[in-house]
Amino acid sequence: MIKSVRLATIKDAEELSRLNQAFNGSARRIQSEIIQSMERSNELIAVAILNEKIVGFACAQSYESFCYRELQGEITEMYIEKTARRLGFATSLIKLLENNLLDRGVREIKILTNRTNSAAIKTYEKCNYVQDEVILFEKEF
């Protein structure tokens, strides 16, 4: 079994489309849309590879706000195929994203997850993330 993680390239767009559909359950994003997004945003996308096949991804953003002196960071998405779970990919993806965010100057990273997602919470705690008392509100238009 050969395992690795790395930052995604535009060559990974088709596999990212497949994984995103499995993750979000929505219509599959076309490859050209994913490539455009990768080329114009500052999003970091990391991929997990098992035996030369992409089996997961995680995304992160860095952003500035006049409210804070420091650059802000957030890990925004994480998905690993069921067959590749519990092999250490989640913690490896987080570490790769953390290192890249640190290189950008980020000194604090936030992660939002569903309070019922015990596997994710356990992973984030393993990576030394601490739950806070923030309540998330959402509104769709």
Reported as a single tens digit per residue, the pLDDT across 49-83 is 999 999 999 999 999 989 888 899 999 999 999 99
Per-residue pLDDT tens for 28-44?
A: 888 899 999 999 999 99
Which token pair is 61? 């953003």
Instruction: Provide the whole-model pTM.
Output: 0.90
- Measured from the Cβ of residue 86, the count of other Cβ atoms closer than 10 Å reads 9
Residue 63 β-bridge partners = 72
- CB-based contact 111:132 (threshold 8 Å): no
**CA dihedral for 34, 39, 45, 51, sign (positive or negative):** positive
- Assess whether pLDDT exceeds 80 at residue 135: no
* Residue ranges covered by each domain of the chain: 3-126
Looking at domain 3-126, its CATH class is alpha beta
Scan for tokens 């995680």, then name that residue.
58
Rounded to the nearest 5°, which phi and psi values hold at 130? -120, 130
**CB 89, CB 52: distance < 8 Å:** no
Q: What's the mean pLDDT when you consider all of the chain?
A: 93
Supply φ then ψ for residue 17, to 5 degrees. -60, -45
